Amino acid sequence: MKIKVLFEDKNIIVLDKPAGLAVHADVRTLDEDSVSSFIIENYPTLKNVGEPMEVEVAGGKKIKIPRPGIVHRLDKETSGVLIVARNQKTFEFLKEQFQSHTIKKVYRAFVYGYVPDPKASLATGKRGVINVPIGRSPRDIRMWTAGRGARLPLRDALTEYVVLERFSDIENPKTKPDTEHQFSYIEAYPKTGRTHQIRVHMRYINHPVVSDPLYRGVKDYSLGMKRLALHAYSITFRLPSGELKTVESPFPMDFKKAIKTYLPKVK
């Protein structure tokens, strides 16, 4: 298994996580490849860095699932930048940045429908703001829900976004295309780090992420994306030296193909 390293020094590694690879195993996938198994294989000294996840298995026995140096996570089908700490001191240093929301994360996504321009304000500029708490779905244990209907406890969640482009998957439509052929290309900025946050918030405003297996509802897989059309494009954080560092992840092939096909003028 190969994962591209985007940045590396004595304290930190930033990986380019491919879509389809889990960050760490769970009870059902202990023998499957993951970012964690890649780290243990290629950076064995990181084995005891961080905080393992303790889970209960059949018979009440508890096991620890290693998460070597992993400070945050990405959904299995999300591609892009992932930070790993190389020692415990740096792990705690990065963890504090995540908890205080000083780390800046930028995502790119294709979503269904034409997302309207948000109302500009002095506070947010031209960014849209989704400030709606998230809780477990009452219907599906795998899912989360924003706003009414979510199970307690609710967790504050804040996502900002801008619309980069609106487009149709029909070539040269003579009239305004039906809503099923309307899409938007957005940039999202999660200010909190809740599970599935961008996916849940985009669904909340009726523009779920393209090809999302959980939250797209009855909509078809689209734009040639056979997986969740969400990419962790960049992350900005502070190094232990005090330097502010930004690392970007190149678009994977499926994103490149969709951009080239539908948005040839967009970078």
∠ CA(199), CA(103), CA(197), 5° rounding? 15
Two tokens, residue 147: 């706003």
Percent of the chain clearing pLDDT 70 (strictly above)? 91
Is 75 catalytic? The answer is yes
pLDDT higher than 70, residue 157:
yes
Instruction: For the chain, give the mean pLDDT.
Output: 91
Predicted local distance difference test score (pLDDT) of residue 172: 62
Yes or no: say if 209 and 19 are a contact pair by the CB < 8 Å rule.
no
Q: Which residue among 16, 75, 212, 254 is the active-site one?
A: 75
SS3 227: coil
Two tokens, residue 168: 């149709």
* CATH architecture, domain 1-100: 2-Layer Sandwich (3.30)
| pLDDT tier at 89, thresholds 50, 70, 90 | very high
Average pLDDT over residues 221-231: 97
pTM exceeds 0.75, yes or no:
yes
pLDDT higher than 90, residue 74:
yes
Average pLDDT over residues 133-139: 93
Yes or no: say if 1 and 40 are a contact pair by the CB < 8 Å rule.
no
Predicted local distance difference test score (pLDDT) of residue 178: 78
Domain 1-100 and domain 103-234 have a common topology? yes
Q: Does domain 103-234 correspond to CATH entry 3.40.630.10?
A: no
pLDDT higher than 70, residue 123:
no
Residue 180 to residues 35, 198, 257: CA-CA distances in angstroms? 36, 21, 20
Yes or no: say if 111 and 165 are a contact pair by the CB < 8 Å rule.
no
pLDDT higher than 80, residue 41:
yes
Amino acid type, 178: D
Yes or no: say if 181 and 170 are a contact pair by the CB < 8 Å rule.
yes
SS3 230: strand
Spans of all domains in the chain: 1-100, 103-234
ω into 177 cis (within 30 of 0)? no
The rounded distance, in Å, linking the Cα atoms of 37 and 3 is 11
Radius of gyration (Cα) for the chain, nearest Å?
Answer: 19
The rounded distance, in Å, linking the Cα atoms of 196 and 207 is 14
Residue 142 to residues 29, 79, 139, 214, 215: CA-CA distances in angstroms? 16, 20, 9, 8, 11
pLDDT higher than 60, residue 52:
yes
| Nearest Cα to Cα of residue 8 among 65, 58, 83 | 83
